[in-house]
Structure 1
Amino acid sequence: MNYTQFPRRNYLQGPTPIEEMPALSRVLGGEVNLYIKRDDLLPGSAGGNKTRKLEFCIADAMEKGADTIITCGAVQSNHCRLTASWSAKEGLDCHLVLEERVKGSYKKEASGNNFLFELLGVKTIEVVPGGSDMMAEMEKKAQELKAAGRSPYIIPGGASNAIGATGYAVCAEETVNQLNDMRLSIDHIVVPSGSAGTHAGMVVGMTGVNGNIPISGMNVSRPKDVQEEIVHKLAVKTAERLHVKGGVERQDIVCYGDYVGPGYSLPTDAMVEAVKLFANHEAILLDPVYSGKAAAGLIDLVRKGVFPKDSNVLFLHTGGSPALYAYLDTFRK
């Protein structure tokens, strides 16, 4: 696919590694061969998948003459951290609107990403109640900044619009090229599914290059049917932007909603187990909100025999390990 038609910054430093996870595979019974795509190793402060999306979103902002970026997320948002990171690198002001999805969960002096917002020089942080209209809150901030003579640009939560999802269409093509070079046949790909840009972009990219590898999303915030509709809607828009022939069919979007637990960012026993298994056996750090719950879903599907014997399954690691330090009590209790 041709991405040169879109403005794009050069944040990536080549493909992220695809690694085998033999120890974890053995611990889980040895009947499925697990691999991992290390998007946690992407550049940007402490890494993570949003860098792929921000290559396109921040480039679009700069082409439009923006000097200020506004974005939103939860109180420990990895997306907000990486937006602040690349804004700092580009000399752009960054303003955050944080949604307190769990009442009382925002703590100004918290560790994890909260601390990194401070280090990265975020200009303002506004905290709004869970369920707020986040786009309206960001528009309100944009009007304030315009009145002060600034030129703001709004990036939606997770950078999950068709511009940002383009970054994961790129990732799908990158992944297929790597697998061809490695002569590695992958039977299934598992990705976290939250704001939908990663999941939608991967499906669009896989369709665009005729990769023919099924992709399943592990929900981190919503029920299966709701999430599948959100992902499909964004995938259709992204496919249109990239002129993918035939588009994306509804049946191409598969989500699992069994691993969310009591709600977004709220810990589950399965998440804690997954984080510990990845750390203890593969020396890989997950995060407690996205990759931890997605890995819990992967582990459960392996244990239940959902993947045929001797399948090769690739897990997309979206990063986010700084958030672990805000969940110390969860892991030490």
Structure 2
Amino acid sequence: MNRKPEDLIPELQQHRRVILGHEPTPIDRLTRLGQDLGIELWVKRDDCNGLAFGGNKVRQLEYYLGPGVEKNADTVLITGALQSNFVRLTAAAAAKLGWQAHVQLEERVPSDDQLYRKSGNIFLNNLLGAEISYFPEGEDEAGADRALDDRAEQLKSQGRRPYVIHLGLGSPPYGGLGYIRAAAETYAQVIELGNKPDYIVVPSGSGLTHAGFLVGARAIGWDVPIIGICVRRDQKSQTDRIRQRSNELAHMISRPGIITDQDIIISDKTLSPGYGKMNQPVKEAIEKTAQLEAILLDPVYTARTMAGLIDKVRTDAIPQGAKVLFIHTGGNPAIFAYQNAIESFS
């Protein structure tokens, strides 16, 4: 790929970036799964971007940690669910930078399963040397951020230089810049392949991957429909969130007004019974993708997103024969934490 994302969106250079992963990540064809569904299916492999099992949060952390480097931080704090990929990759980035990571785990998915509470990303957080604390609520973004701020003040009194990654709606969405960058990277790749997709399907959770990719695509004049599959909130709540985050990101690259309501396409049909909980479409997506393509998906984000893609095909929202690009955002360590849930679900 000859063209760099900054060639297409030069405003990205205004924001400090810390290089943590590999780019560009590959785009592979999923021939057998595509034939099974009756579409031409491709996958953008952001699970292969190099840092501690990879995933979409690598791109986000490159821009979240840029301001921390400028402030000469030596400690990073973040909050997330027990099996959060963001938390695991923050711990990994801290290790790579020589910082200390303080990670706060939220009780977002009620479960006494010891695999869920000790394996997967939690095991990796410990292995990476993170300090772990717990927050009792799973849907209190503001409260979780305040708890991080309180811990940061304690660390300052101990002589540390803490930097807090705030993920609530009141904080700048630096991480979305990583997916503005990813959209430009992806566009250059599909042009080089000579195979532009008719649709792109992406997880929609915190919203920065979805909103960032959408803003990046529109900033370069790429009008491909980008379908966000809800992994945490219902369609209405997520639509409001993507609208806000998209507008914020568009301003951050000096492109206000480039996103309209018609650009925001969201489905929550595979969300029930809620964040991090199994359902039949998610199990089918895990098994079908593994057995037809040897691609591993996690129950929280990527399998739910693939389930949403499959639903769109089966309901003709994505027509037969269409070219579809699936954004694989990683999360593979969670497979081990969800082993019992996957095996016991019927």
Which of 137, 158, 164 matches 1:129?
Answer: 137
1:41 equivalent to 2:51? Answer no
Secondary structure of the residue aligned to 2:197 is: coil
Q: In the TM superposition, what is the alpha-carbon distance from 1:292 to its structure 2 partner?
A: 0.9
Alpha-carbon contact 1:190-1:217 (below 8 Å) kept: yes
- Structure 1 residues 255-305: Cα deviation after superposition (integer angstroms, max 9, x where no partner): 101111111111111111101111000100011100110110001111222
Query: CA distance change for structure 1 residues 105 and 256 in 2, over 3 Å: closer, same or farther?
Result: farther
Of 247-256 and 286-295, the range deviating more from structure 2: 247-256
Question: Superposed, which structure 2 residues align to 1:98-109 within 5 Å?
Answer: 98-105=105-112
Query: CA distance change for structure 1 residues 252 and 52 in 2, over 3 Å: closer, same or farther?
Result: same
- Structure 1 residues 223-243: Cα deviation after superposition (integer angstroms, max 9, x where no partner): 101101101101101110011
Match of 1:13 in 2: 22
Q: In the TM superposition, what is the alpha-carbon distance from 1:20 to its structure 2 partner?
A: 1.0
Question: Superposed, which structure 2 residues align to 1:135-146 within 5 Å?
Answer: 135-146=145-156
Measure the CA separation in 2 of the matches of 1:109 and 1:254.
Answer: 34
Q: What amino acid is aligned across from residue 133 of structure 2 in structure 1? A: I
- Stretches of 4+ moved more than 6 A in 1? none
Q: In the TM superposition, what is the alpha-carbon distance from 1:106 to its structure 2 partner?
A: 8.0
1:118 equivalent to 2:129? Answer no
TM-score by length of 1: 0.95
Alpha-carbon contact 1:73-1:157 (below 8 Å) kept: no
- Structure 1 residues 12-62: Cα deviation after superposition (integer angstroms, max 9, x where no partner): 32211111111001222x2x1111111011111011110001111112111
1:225 equivalent to 2:233? Answer no
Measure the CA separation in 2 of the matches of 1:106 and 1:329.
Answer: 8
TM-score by length of 2: 0.92
Measure the CA separation in 2 of the matches of 1:211 and 1:288.
Answer: 30
1:235 equivalent to 2:246? Answer yes
Match of 2:4 in 1: none
Measure the CA separation in 2 of the matches of 1:318 and 1:44.
Answer: 13
Measure the CA separation in 1 of the matches of 2:33 and 2:172.
Answer: 34
Match of 2:96 in 1: 89
Secondary structure of the residue aligned to 1:260 is: coil
Alpha-carbon contact 1:240-1:247 (below 8 Å) kept: no
Q: In the TM superposition, what is the alpha-carbon distance from 1:161 to its structure 2 partner?
A: 4.3
Alpha-carbon contact 2:167-2:173 (below 8 Å) kept: no
Of 160-169 and 257-266, the range deviating more from structure 2: 160-169
Which of 62, 74, 77 matches 1:70?
Answer: 77
How well do the aligned residues superpose, as a CA RMSD in angstroms? 1.7
Q: What amino acid is aligned across from residue 209 of structure 1 in structure 2? A: I
Point out where structure 2 has 5 or more consecutive residues left out of the alignment. Answer: 1-8
Measure the CA separation in 2 of the matches of 1:164 and 1:84.
Answer: 16
Secondary structure of the residue aligned to 2:316 is: coil
Alpha-carbon contact 2:247-2:259 (below 8 Å) kept: yes
1:289 equivalent to 2:273? Answer no
Question: Superposed, which structure 2 residues align to 1:160-199 within 5 Å?
Answer: 161-199=172-210
Alpha-carbon contact 2:82-2:117 (below 8 Å) kept: no
Query: CA distance change for structure 1 residues 96 and 235 in 2, over 3 Å: closer, same or farther?
Result: same
Alpha-carbon contact 1:191-1:199 (below 8 Å) kept: yes
